[in-house]
């Protein structure tokens, strides 16, 4: 599957930069192209400058709101971010027209943080604009939810997240939800932590995107999970994860064990990898609420057998009994068995419900605080009414 990736705001641009790095890796290691175009869109010049993999030309790193934001962002005001995107959104469409391989893209992925200003505000606007211009291709939104400490200390973050999620869900074909808190490492520096989080967000897409683009016959699975399968499996609220299980360091080609203990161990590796993927989904949810799902097994060819595929399918069926499940295999990894899992069409997402509830409680609170601030200012002006002024 090939994507056009558009990153919005500081977080979204860094995620798009990671997708561009992933494409460089796919091109060098596997000889395939999975990202036909990567764009960083922001109102802050400094954030655009700090990227490493996206081309430095002005059509790949796009500055919006030059006059209104002055190249310094919108200060977490997502209404301003949305307004700027409405005025300058055509810059993004114009830049995409210059991508020679645009017609090869199977879908668009628009990424942003829900808690900021530029990304949160522009995400639904740009998603809608892209969907209107390219109505024959699905447009997905990848939304990165804020850290817990941001939710506790910055009430504006909750309001931005709720308005962003409600707006983007009404226009995107699917919304991939990612919790920053799931990937945090307390021993890392802030810079390294964010870089590590962005890498972990993007990593589960690697095998999923590469599987259908393989050119060498020995790496093409018996059951290929291609763009058509992914598009049919992804809709609405969506979460994803990837799990790994180490394989023996050495095994003879075409070797098949008849020992029941070894056979049981082989199957257990696949279950362990899927269990890790489901336990470490991008956002906690109840798999029973999923209406669609798919999984991809990636391992050396001799490690993927019918029993493992069947066991994984039965396991996922137990977890998501109401879902239409698709699967595929990808004989590519060395020394590892990886299982990528996507749960989609979620009918209930507790985290989203909490954001909606908390934001509705904050709206009257903002109004009350504004009224109190105005009353205090008025009282202060009355106290200083008799004080002479130096301005005539």
pLDDT of residue 386: 78
- Which residues of the chain, if any, have pLDDT below 70? 71, 185-191, 248-266, 363-374, 392
Please check whether residue 44 is in contact with residue 162, taking contact to mean a CB–CB distance below 8 angstroms. no
**Which strands, in side-by-side order, build the sheet including 61-63?**
61-63, 35-42, 3-8, 107-113, 139-145, 174-179, 236-246, 336-344, 292-298, 324-330
Architecture of domain 240-344: 2-Layer Sandwich (3.30)
pLDDT of residue 187: 54
Per-residue model confidence as pLDDT tens digits over 10-53: 999 999 999 999 999 999 999 999 999 999 999 988 889 989 99
- C-alpha triplet 304, 309, 315: angle, nearest 5°: 140
Structure token digits, residue 309: 């595929």
Among 295, 299, 294, 308, CA closest to 331: 299
What residue segments make up the domains of the chain, in order of their start?
3-203, 240-344
pLDDT of residue 260: 44
Beta strand 174-179 pairing with 139-145:
parallel
pLDDT of residue 250: 46
Separation CA 318–CA 312 (nearest Å) = 10
The 3 state secondary structure assigned to 336-383 is EEEEEEEEECCCCCHHHHHHHHHHHHHHHHHHHHHHHHHHHHHHHHHH
- C-alpha triplet 72, 75, 80: angle, nearest 5°: 95
DSSP calls for 255-309: -----HHHHHHHHHHHHHHHHHHHHT-SS---GGG-SEEEEEEES-GGG--HHHH
pTM of the predicted protein model: 0.89
Structure token digits, residue 347: 């009918």
pLDDT of residue 68: 72
pLDDT of residue 33: 94
pLDDT of residue 392: 61
Superfamily for domain range 3-203: Tubulin/FtsZ, GTPase domain (3.40.50.1440)
pLDDT of residue 195: 83
What Rg value do the Cα atoms of the chain yield, rounded? 24
């Amino acid at each position: 599957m090939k994507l056009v990736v558009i990153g919005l705001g500081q977080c979204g641009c860094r995620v798009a930069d990671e997708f561009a790095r992933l494409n460089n890796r796919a091109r060098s290691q596997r000889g395939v192209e999975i990202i036909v175009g990567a764009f960083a869109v922001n109102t802050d010049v400094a954030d655009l400058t700090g990227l490493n993999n996206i081309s430095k030309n002005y059509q790949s790193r796009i500055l919006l709101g030059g006059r209104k934001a002055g190249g310094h962002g919108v200060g977490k005001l997502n209404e301003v971010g949305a307004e700027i995107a409405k005025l300058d959104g055509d810059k993004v469409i114009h830049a995409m027209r210059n991508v020679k391989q645009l017609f090869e893209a199977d879908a668009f992925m628009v990424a942003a943080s829900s808690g900021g200003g530029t990304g949160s505000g522009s995400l639904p606007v740009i998603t809608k604009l892209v969907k209107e211009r390219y109505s024959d291709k699905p447009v997905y939104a990848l939304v990165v939810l804020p850290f817990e400490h941001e939710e506790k200390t910055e009430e504006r973050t909750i309001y931005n997240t709720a308005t962003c999620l409600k707006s983007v869900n009404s226009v995107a074909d699917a919304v991939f939800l990612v919790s920053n808190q799931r990937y945090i490492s307390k021993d890392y520096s802030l810079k390294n932590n964010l870089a590590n989080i962005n890498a972990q967000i993007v990593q589960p897409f690697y095998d999923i995107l590469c599987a259908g683009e393989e050119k060498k016959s020995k790496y093409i699975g018996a059951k290929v999970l291609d763009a058509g399968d992914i598009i049919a499996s992804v809709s609405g609220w969506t979460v994803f994860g990837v799990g790994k299980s180490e394989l023996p360091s050495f095994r003879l080609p075409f070797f098949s064990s008849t020992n029941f203990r070894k056979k049981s161990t082989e199957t257990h590796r696949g279950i362990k990898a899927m269990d890790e993927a489901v336990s470490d989904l991008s956002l906690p949810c109840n798999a029973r609420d999923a209406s669609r799902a798919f999984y991809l097994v990636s391992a050396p060819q001799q490690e993927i057998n019918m029993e493992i595929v069947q066991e994984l399918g039965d396991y996922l069926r137990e977890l998501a009994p109401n879902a239409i499940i698709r699967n595929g295999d990808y004989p590519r990894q060395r020394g590892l068995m990886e299982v990528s899992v996507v749960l989609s069409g979620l009918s209930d997402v507790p985290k989203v419900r909490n954001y909606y509830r908390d934001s509705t409680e904050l709206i009257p609170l903002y109004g009350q605080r504004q009224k109190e601030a105005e009353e205090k200012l008025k009282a202060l002006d009355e106290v200083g009414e008799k004080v002479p002024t130096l301005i005539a």
